[in-house]
Amino acid sequence: MNPPLLEIAGLAISYHSDDGMVEALRGVSLAANAGEVVGIVGESGCGKSTLVSALNALLAPNAEVTGGMVALNGRDILRRTQAEQRALRGAEIAMVFQDSMTAFSPVLSIGTQLVDFQHNLPKASRREKLARATEMLARVGIGEPAQCLRRYPHQLSGGMRQRAAMAAALLMSPQILVADEPTTALDVTMEAQILHLLRGLRDEINGAIIIVTHHLGVIGEICDRVYVMYAGQVVEEATVDALYHAPQHPYTRALIGCDPAHLQKRSPTLPTIPGRPPSLVNPPKACAFAPRCTLADATCHSVPPPRVRISASQTALCHKVVR
């Protein structure tokens, strides 16, 4: 069996703050193989953004890696020099950011920026780079791509900007494509088109796609496997089918229960998870979800939960999983 294209092992990252060290990631491990789409899902504040920053070696100045690694093709990204990290971005790992408006400079045309994104191709002429950009815009479904190149970001619709952002990310044929909340702020029609585009890309790129979202519907549409995060930890790993039909962690079940698509009858209120995530300045040593969990007992509140393997492809960080 081939080793994972991307492997994160025991990653721990903290932020220096006025209140103390914020433990944003606490021993996160995951893997992505070539040809698969991996989902990362969880509430706001669970550590998804920090994980995305680590994947691109774009951690904030006050961030500190206190343990673990992020390995691409077996080599730790975070231990490379700044020059090596810059060379990785775009060429080996590309990012589609959450806000497509801020992904581009407002004062430069789309064409100028897509040419600039190809700076790692010094032997290619500007005409060749424009041709590559035109081809990529057409590939992601933008009609009249030559006209799009002459436009500025504000002249494109939200869906077109998101497609242009994907074109920018794919220009250098990266091994890893990371999409952070790729359908946020899009209407239902545009969301469906972007998901259709991502579904098509999974068969075209010779690498892996990582989808970061809080939307379980997006996960169900295009992902093969999913990692559920809570309070800086991966609390469950499963295939999408197992996650929906046999979730093992109470938090995963609570998340699925909050999805409006699962409501069986009309309700004046939407389901929620009572309580709030714990502070990560001084995170609990026991189960972080215990204060919000209906199954929690004294052990859950006092003893760190074990990571239980349910099957070859599913694990859960919980005392209550039946072994």
pTM: predicted TM-score of the whole model, two decimal places: 0.91
With tokens 């990310």, the residue in question is 169
Q: How many domains does the chain have?
A: 1
Residue 296 is assigned to a structural domain of this protein: yes
Domain span at residue 63 reads 6-92+174-317
Residue 16 lies in a domain: yes
**Residue type at 219 in one-letter notation:** I
Q: Does residue 302 lie within any of the structural domains?
A: yes
In three-state form (DSSP H/G/I as H, E/B as E, the rest C), the secondary structure along 52-91 is HHHHCCCCCCCEEEEEEEEEECCEECCCCCHHHHHHHECC
Count of residues for the chain? 323
CB distance 60 to 15 below 8 Å: yes
What is residue 21's three-state secondary structure?
Answer: strand
Q: What is the pLDDT of residues 54-99, one digit of tens each?
A: 999 999 999 999 999 999 989 999 999 999 998 888 889 999 887 7
Q: Which residue has the tokens 């992902």?
A: 223
Please, which pLDDT band fits residue 204 given cuts at 50, 70 and 90? Answer: confident
* 135 occurs within a structural domain: no
Q: Which CATH number covers residue 36?
A: 3.40.50.300
Interval 213-237: pLDDT, tens: 888 888 888 899 999 999 999 999 9
Tokens of 286: 């026991």
- Residue, of 259 and 243, whose pLDDT is higher: 243
pLDDT tens digits for range 154-189:
999 888 898 899 899 888 888 999 998 887 767 777
How many CB atoms lie under 10 A from the CB of residue 197?
A: 18
